Chains A and B, each alone.
Chain A
Amino acid sequence: MKIVLSLLEQFISLPKGTTPQTLAVALTQLGHEVEGIHTSGGNFPNVVIGHIKERIQHPNADRLGVCQVDVGEGTLRQIVCGAPNARAGLTVAVAMPGAVLPGDFKIGASKIRGVESNGMICSLDELGMAQERAEGIWEMDTKAKPGTVLNDIMGPGETVMDLAITPNRGDCFSHLGIARDLAALGTGKLIPLKSPRKKPTTDHRSPITVKVATHTEGCPQFNALELTGLKNAPSPLAVQKQLEALGLRPKNALVDATNYTMLALGQPLHAYDAAKVKGTLAARAAKGGETFHGIGDVELKLNEGETVITDDTGILGLGGILGGTGSAIAEGTSHVILEAAYFDPIRTALTGQAHQLHTDARQRFERGVDPEMTQQALLFCAHLITQWAGGKVSGMATAGKGVAAPKPISYNPSFYQTFIGADVKPARQKALLKALHFKVEGRPNSESRIPNSGSWQVTPPTYRTYMTTPEDLTEEILRLEGYESVTPQLPPSMPGQFQVNSAPVILDRTARKALAATGFLESISYSFIGTPTAEMFASGQELIHLANPLAQTDMTTLRPSLIPGLISAHKSNLAKSENAPRLAEVGKVFSAKGEKLMAAAILAPTATRAWRRGEGAPDAFTAKAAAQAVLSLLGAPVESATVSREAPSWYHPGRSGTLAVGPFVLAHFGELHPATAKALDVPAVAIFELHLEPLLKLTAKPRPWQPMPYPAVKRDLAFLLPQDVTAQQVVATIRASNQTLLRAVEVFDHYIGERIPAGKQSLALSLTLQSPEKTLAEADITPIIQAAVQAVETKHQAQLRA
């Protein structure tokens, strides 16, 4: 929320020497973070008041005019001006040569299309006094003489502070609220609100004709009055300047006064064209399905229970959120009904959420406005309007049973010491609470440690909606004492270790390190990807989509696999024409069944041109090796894993596989399916994915150390086999042929080609035999080898090669 210093100072007299910076320190201590300080409306020593005496058409340009302007110099000044509203008789702001306007825009004398121009006639935005681009030059309403410096009538620029008001401080969404908080801290003295009348008046200056009613708990207090005989007039320049500084565009006395009242006192108001209101102005709960046409071309279908304002003919407004088009005031409306009500915060919040309406009124009502302020604000605003636009104020019509008074909080001041860990004497606590306008009653028993025995009864002011607990009160005292008043303390060390299952987190972090140790750069990509891509990786599972994705992005569906993210990271690296790094990621993948922790990596040929030896493109075996290395670092029993030739659909069906231990699938590896690669527009790459969660169930069993004092013996065997027999099958057959002395079976050569018959493959294996009891003799070895050969020959139609 923005506050402007000149308006703040109508509610608080600040100490001498207060600067925006010292104010910012005080506001920060109070919990209102200052996000920026700037000046609105500048200091323009070279901008003066001028009278346009004559405007003629520019001889060389259709859209330009040549003006003769009196700026109090005795002679007229010629200025070329392109504004459509430039005409004789206007009072305008003239930037003289030498002036510097916002945006470092320097004004000089020049020739425009061959015509001399000695200065510039300014629009509001050129002077930095309007946020939006103004249509034409500023038509000033001032009696100041030509040549008067603009500063003399405008005063200096407005100092604006941008505050972050936290959601619990609805009371601070106004200048009055900020002033109250500052005064409680001791920064300045509150100036009592100059209110014309505290109570609703029955002293009719003009009779009230409108009747009001409320039939819903969504609006427990409803007030209105009438204004008659209004002239269409602008608000005072000083007010316009403040509104501009606060980011609002001044319109006319009526609109400006309602905005001004809301910004000053925190109470939103609404004005109706009295001629368009038929019968009783009433608040009621909407029936489901009713429609409402709101200001700004908003067409709503209302939900049951939402608060609406009606007259006898229909719905005029969505209570506390948005006015309707039917009863909106028009330029020149002279008879107006002004409303100030209290709308229920919860109802307002739910309605605003349901219709996605963000208005200044909603922002204040859903945080809770001060129920004691509604009538006061209504009168304040009515009198501003009549002050600015003439007319008469009627008496006030009110309805509703009002808002429940705040409940007292039982509070023992000793709680501060036990909860905060710092000492503030009860008398001081009481003084601070009173400074914040809390009512403190009762006598605490300072001996008692039980918080509710002999407590104070502390009643918050009506505008502190969120104050309900003793902890809330400690925060109030702490804010005024300063959070820095608390001396940091370390708690005693842990009284016994607390057991939490950290295993999934540790697995997540260890996997990242294992991938890095295996040569991968860890990537973190977004958890959401494009829906068509996600569908390619769905594996038949139901996907989860974002119900409200960011606009203009393809982040629409939660990723079912880490591979798409890695592929797009890979592509963006290629686009930077760099070596494609080996990338890996550890993170969650999602489906309707839930989220799973996985790791994945992408291996692409490096573009590095090595002078020594070329490296082949990574293939299924490169991916398999890396997957096994990572799994092994993670403690998976890789040696007992089996490989199957299946893999998810995005893998090359003939060049991919799945690693599993028993029922636990640990990894898929292989080359990316050429069709997937084509669809994602990526060159051939090898990939792997690891299922990490099964590792939590696969604990490698500790084995005792077995010394092997006798030498191992190696024997090589080569077989000619049908091509559909896998290496894994042959190794398994050999291993099964001897369980005791066969230590290892390793494939060391594989051949398919011209040197052997078609349809056959040659597989060479190295068998390691070792006994823990003796050195193996030829007599021990031969039968084992023979058994192995025989097993392979019979089981796989193999022939032993010489």
Chain B
Amino acid sequence: MDITTALADIQARINKSSSLKDLEDMRIQYLGQNSELTKSLQSLGKLAPEERRVKGAELNQLKMDLQITFAAMKAGLEAAELNAQLASQAIDVTLPADPTYQGRIHPVTAAMEDIAAALKTLGFVHAYGPEVESDDYNFTKLNLPPHHPARQDQDTFYLNPFNAEDRARYVLRTQTSNVQIRALEAYKPPFRVMGIGRVYRRDYDLTHTPQFHQVEGMMVESGTTFAHMRGVLDEFLRLFFGKSFKTRMRPHYFPFTEPSGEIDMECQACKGAGCRICKNSGWLEVLGCGMVHRNVLAVGGLNPVENPGFAFGAGVDRLAMLKYGITDLRLLFESHGAFLQQFGKAPVAAV
């Protein structure tokens, strides 16, 4: 049998092997110590030099070819075996995943963060005010003396016991405006501060909860005008909502500002045409604002000629509802798991 025929013959047999063991048996048979090929190679020395060179080259070529064939076949068989093993390990990946706890910050917290971020861009810095506040800070210093008619509108929660030490009457703050007074007492202009937090009013119905959240901002700086106030507030709303809206400003009254106004935003549900959400007006009230009243500036020893300023406030819950599409205020404080999961925000970009 010539060597080429022999090679083809053996290769055909190798390719038919069905298992790694078969293949190893064959390798021992054809390439092992006792194989014909090994023996032939060992007996090359007995041949004449010329014949030995020719025959030796032939046999070595044959050996190499066989080794390649074995290696290829082995890799193939190993892959098949692994595949078979993996197939036997297959699972039903449509079964549910392991339970995880997905935390969410409350939509009101998310709104507070977005508001703070927007105001920070405009140069406002966070200030802090307590929730239990003296009558003085909540009202009197904000130009609301005890007989002021606006006090009735605010339905205040009063606290027991009164503070025994200073004999002052204590209240749950009805507005974050107490931050204004604390800033005026502590800092010299120019400054821009914001306060965001919980406030309380004695009011509980479809559209009022006895506890809600407010943002308060104040800028006091020589040269500040009413026009600046409008500019800053339009820009604040644009930054918070992520796009520009039509706004309008109309007169209002707050004891701690003069002139005072309110800013309405075009109702997005009806694009200003009038609908149930906006009570057919086409507008939604979002902000109260005004130039800081001289009696309030006086707390910091300032006056509106040399150090004019403006202040503004808005309901955080309302802003959150508008931004995130929440329709019922009371849902915010019911801690309903499914609600918190759906409207809460992931704490990414946090901590």
Q: Which residue of the partner chain B has the closest CB to A590? A: B132
Kindly state whether residue B130 has any CB partner on chain A within 8 Å: yes
Q: Once the chains bind, are B340 and A500 in contact (CB under 8 Å)?
A: no
Chain B residue, CB-CB nearest to A495 = B190
- Do the beta carbons of A509 and B250 come within 8 Å of each other? no
Asked whether, in the complex, the Cβ of A516 is within 8 Å of the Cβ of B335, the reply is no
Contact check, B294 vs A471: say whether CB atoms are below 8 A apart: yes
CB-CB under 8 A from B304, the residues of chain A are 419, 471
Does A502 make an interface contact (CB < 8 A)? yes
Q: Which of A519, A544, A573, A595 is within 8 Å of B100, CB to CB?
A: A519
Residues of chain A contacted by B204 (CB below 8 angstroms):
550, 553
Is there a chain B Cβ closer than 8 Å to A491's Cβ? Answer: yes
Would you call A490 an interface residue if the criterion is a C-beta within 8 Å of the partner chain's C-beta atoms? yes
B residues less than 8 Å from A486 (CB atoms): 226-227, 230, 249
Contacts of A427 in B (CB 8 A): none
Report how far A438 CA is from B139 CA in the complex, Å: 30
**Distance, CA A131 to CA B333, complexed state (A):** 35
| Interface: A784 (CB within 8 A) | no
Contacts of B198 in A (CB 8 A): 527, 587-588
B334 within 8 A of A: yes
Q: Decide if B125 touches A502 in the complex (CB within 8 Å).
A: yes
The answer to whether A522 and B227 touch (CB under 8 A), given A167-B253, A479-B251, is: no
Q: What's the least CB distance linking A505 to chain B, in Å?
A: 4
Give the contact stretch, choosing among A51-59, A85-93, A206-214, A604-612. Answer: A604-612
Q: Check: A29 CB closer than 8 A to any chain B CB.
A: yes
Question: Any chain B CB within 8 A of the CB of A506?
Answer: yes
Q: A28-B250, A350-B147, A522-B109 are in contact. Are A544 and B191 (CB under 8 A)?
A: no
Instruction: Tell me the bound Cα distance from A522 to B128 in angstroms.
Output: 22
B23 within 8 Å of A (CB atoms) = no
B226 to chain A: closest CB distance in Å? 4
Q: In the complex, are the beta carbons of A526 and B333 less than 8 A apart?
A: yes
Binds B, one of A235-243, A575-583, A717-725: A575-583
> Is there contact, CB below 8 Å, between B294 and A469?
yes
Whole-angstrom CA separation of A478 from B229 in the bound complex: 14
Contacts of A489 in B (CB 8 A): 225, 227-228, 230-231
The answer to whether A580 touches B132 (Cβ under 8 A) is no
* Residue on B nearest A344 in the bound complex, by CB: B147
Does A516 lie within 8 Å of B103, measured CB to CB? yes
CA distance A484 to B264 in the complex (A): 12
Asked whether B200 is an interface residue with its Cβ less than 8 Å from the other chain, the reply is yes
Report the Cα distance A509→B95, complex, angstroms. 37
Residue pair A521, B250 in contact (C-beta under 8 Å): no
Q: How far is the CA of A451 from the CA of B308 in the complex (A)?
A: 14
* Nearest CB on B from A425, distance (A): 17
By beta carbon, the residue of chain B nearest A469 is B294
Q: Are A346 and B147 in contact (CB under 8 A)?
A: yes
Interface string of B175-218 (1 = CB under 8 A from A): 00000000100010011110010101010100000110000000
Stretch of B32-40, B42-50, B76-84, B155-163 lying at the A interface: B155-163
Question: Would A573 and B219 be within 8 Å (CB), given that A169-B253, A422-B227 are in contact?
Answer: no
B123, B152, B157, B253: the one within 8 Å of A166 (CB): B253
Inter-subunit contact B103/A521 (CB<8 Å): yes
Question: Hey, what's the 0/1 contact readout for B133-159 against A, CB within 8 Å counting as 1?
Answer: 000000000000011111111000111
Docked-complex contact A483 and B333, CB < 8 angstroms:
no
What per-residue 1/0 map shows which CB atoms of A476-511 lie under 8 Å from chain B? 001100011011111111111111111011100110
Verify A513–B338 contact, CB threshold 8 A.
no
For residue B344, CB closer than 8 A to chain A, the reply is yes
Q: Closest CB of chain A to B255's CB: distance in Å?
A: 8
Nearest first, the 4 closest Cβ-Cβ pairs linking A and B are A519-B101, A421-B225, A421-B227, A31-B251
**Residue contacts A-B, CB under 8 angstroms, 7 given:** A366-B149, A419-B225, A489-B230, A506-B126, A509-B109, A518-B103, A524-B108
Measured CB to CB, the residues of B under 8 A from A are 95-96, 98-106, 108-109, 112-113, 116, 123, 125-128, 130-132, 146-153, 157-161, 172, 183, 187, 190-193, 196, 198, 200, 202, 204, 210-211, 219, 221, 223-228, 230-232, 234-235, 248-253, 255, 258-262, 279, 291, 293-294, 304-305, 308, 332-338, 340-341, 344, 346-347, 350-351
A residues lining the B interface (CB < 8 Å): 28-31, 33, 35-36, 166-169, 345-346, 349-350, 353, 358, 363, 366-367, 415, 418-422, 451, 469, 471-472, 474-475, 478-479, 483-484, 486-502, 504-506, 509-510, 512-528, 542, 544-550, 553, 555, 558, 566, 569, 572-573, 576, 578-584, 587-588, 590, 592, 594-595, 606, 608, 610-612, 615, 633
A522-B106, A525-B335, A547-B159 given; 8 more Cβ-contact pairs under 8 Å:
A31-B253, A420-B227, A478-B251, A499-B125, A509-B109, A522-B104, A522-B105, A528-B157
